[in-house]
Chain A
């Protein structure tokens, strides 16, 4: 029950068409699984079928990746996830860096049942893996961010429907990821996606998109190139069709390391790629897939603002200040885990999934239920998964923050370290992932334990530390202010350190510091980097700014000794 009335969550709701498509997908995969288990489908043929239904075979067991379209979840869906984690898995789930959720221990035979359970709450695992169009991602503060030009969620939903079981693009050269950014600040890392869409307004005040292609992490990290400055909004889907068609036809299919769209864009140059897309689009433009006003309004109608109360926000701020003065723990949490909103009197709360000793992004079934309760009680039954592997509750009345904090704290969800060195982005790594070169979770834990003194952590300020267990870069190490990459040296686990990456609007890729370090030398190495920062920073300068000003040399010397 929502204590402010029974306002339904502000998200897309399925109609009979959506339900039908999803139910038919579950039936299709149930039949495929059945035929596979009966030996009628070979492993090779089953591979893309199961991947496109979210199912990997991992180091220890299968892994099921569940789509959370653009990160949005209702409390009802989260309760269902808790139920699934309990009944079909070992009682916990993992939030990924792409706003999705993974189950680490499902049993193949039960996967169709899990998918049916998900379908009952309008969820699925369609296209969460495989060489197809993946889940579209966006800003976790969509709809409430103060710097928003336009809410990106309706556009993400339009893309979700367009990409779901697209008849032409289910067997692309490689995976394909789209992100939408609707604000001034980029919180979606959209320049690091195969397609990045920036919502813009032209000089006539019309809404459209600047289209970027060819960004991505992985082996060859690249920042996306703009191929169209302004695409009027109604043309979104036909233009996406044109890009995908060019890629589907001409992307490299011989070498999987050269198969992403970024390689094609680079080989042709962004200008030539743009010309090819425009030429294809000429034929599709104004076709039946052109969006209508009716459809845009229909989708937007699901994302209307909740019933905000008008409150005396100055008074609420004063109350918070008083409470903060009485409790250092609360004021710390306010400082790091709360974001202002454009709606005065309301705030967005980040529930941390990063307490030391727990794999970053892991939550138990009981915690999920607690999160669902918190969402019902404080945020209109809605919550968001973030690419930093945390949970955000938006639209929390400021007068509720103290109570929310107490409940979150009791559930282990109030670690006050958002945006600090302890808010580590970390892939599952060698503990789970079959592709890993090295473990990543124990490295994250060692760092969190080493830097457990909150005064020190706060003094360091904003600092993104990202860890990937291999070149695939699921932990986004290239764009961490400090990035750590697991490498394999003659069967031993080593770690390469990178500095200076950033995933915001002025996205930059980290530079390699020097030779990789053994696992037990990593935390000491990090400490030395932090010492260099503290000694050299000016005023309130962040780690990243200091690095950008003084360069890599001083850091290098400190970690490896004098190199001259």
Chain B
């Protein structure tokens, strides 16, 4: 069973990403793209499991946010770890739109981004096969103090020193 890092713990994965080519939906909790959600709209009504959405870095979040906020899981996909658009999307979801469900980073992320990802509001992280998750978790707290505001600290250092 695949695992991921969530809220500092190594946990079992309970979601499956629906294949791009899929013509019907599998069972269980499903992670869909925005277009799949439309495509399978009627089928989803009879679905037992939970539904989450994954977004690309170029998602125009402002336009679809209404349909996202009640979801138990939103995943943001990093096509490559150096593509940092997901950092902004995460902060928008958490800070502007007060999304409170699971926010998961998927795709090409690397361990050494965990601290920054966490600050931007991600609480779950899916890595490539073979990454030692409990080792990686150490990087979540690379720093104990920061200058800027983010989701974990809403008061900038200059108002606290």
Contacts and interface: CB of A to CB of B under 8 A. Distances in A.
Q: Do the two shown chains form a genuine complex with each other?
A: yes
8 contacts: A17-B157, A20-B145, A24-B142, A24-B144, A161-B147, A169-B87, A288-B156, A292-B158
A161 B157 contact: yes
A131 B145 contact: no
A288 B155 contact: yes
Interface stretch (B11-19, B24-32, B43-51, B78-86): B78-86
A41 B81 CA distance: 13
Given A28-B142, A28-B143, A249-B88, A170 B116 contact: yes
A17 B144 CA distance: 10
Interface string A246-284: 001100010000000000000000000000000000010
A282 to B, nearest CB: 11
Contacts of A49: 112
B158 A165 contact: no
B82 A167 contact: no
A291 B158 CA distance: 8
B5 interface: no
Nearest to A131: B82
B149 A289 contact: yes
A166 interface: yes
Given A45-B110, A171-B82, A288-B159, A165 B88 contact: no
B84 A21 contact: no
Interface in B90-119: 91, 96, 110, 112-113, 115-116, 119
Contacts of B34: none
Contacts of B146: 21, 165, 167
Contacts of B58: 249
B154 interface: yes
B83 A295 contact: no
B158 A167 contact: no
Interface residues of B, number: 35
Interface string A144-169: 00000000000000000110111111
Which of B146, B147, B159 gathers most chain A CB within 10 Å?
A: B147
A168 B58 CA distance: 15
A20 B157 contact: no
Contacts of A25: 143
Nearest to A167: B119
Interface in A280-308: 283, 287-289, 291-292, 295, 298
Interface of A: 15, 17, 20-21, 24-25, 28, 32, 41, 45, 48-49, 131, 161-162, 164-172, 245, 248-249, 253, 283, 287-289, 291-292, 295, 298
Contacts of A295: 158-159
Q: Please indicate which of the listed interface residues B58, B84, B87 has the most CB atoms of chain A within 10 Å of its own CB.
A: B84
B121 to A, nearest CB: 9
Contacts of B84: 131, 168-172, 248
A283 B112 CA distance: 30
Nearest to B142: A28
A248 B144 contact: no
B155 A167 contact: no
Contacts of B119: 167
Nearest to A295: B158
Contacts of A41: 110, 112
B150 interface: yes
A17 B58 CA distance: 36
B143 A168 contact: no
Contacts of A131: 82, 84
A339 B68 CA distance: 61
A325 B85 CA distance: 64
Given A28-B142, A249-B58, A249-B89, 15 more contacts: A17-B157, A17-B161, A21-B146, A21-B147, A45-B110, A45-B112, A161-B147, A162-B147, A167-B120, A168-B91, A248-B87, A249-B57, A249-B85, A289-B149, A291-B158
Interface in B130-161: 142-150, 154-159, 161
Given A161-B157, A167-B119, A168-B120, A289 B148 contact: yes
B96 A245 contact: no
B88 A168 contact: yes
Contacts of B154: 288
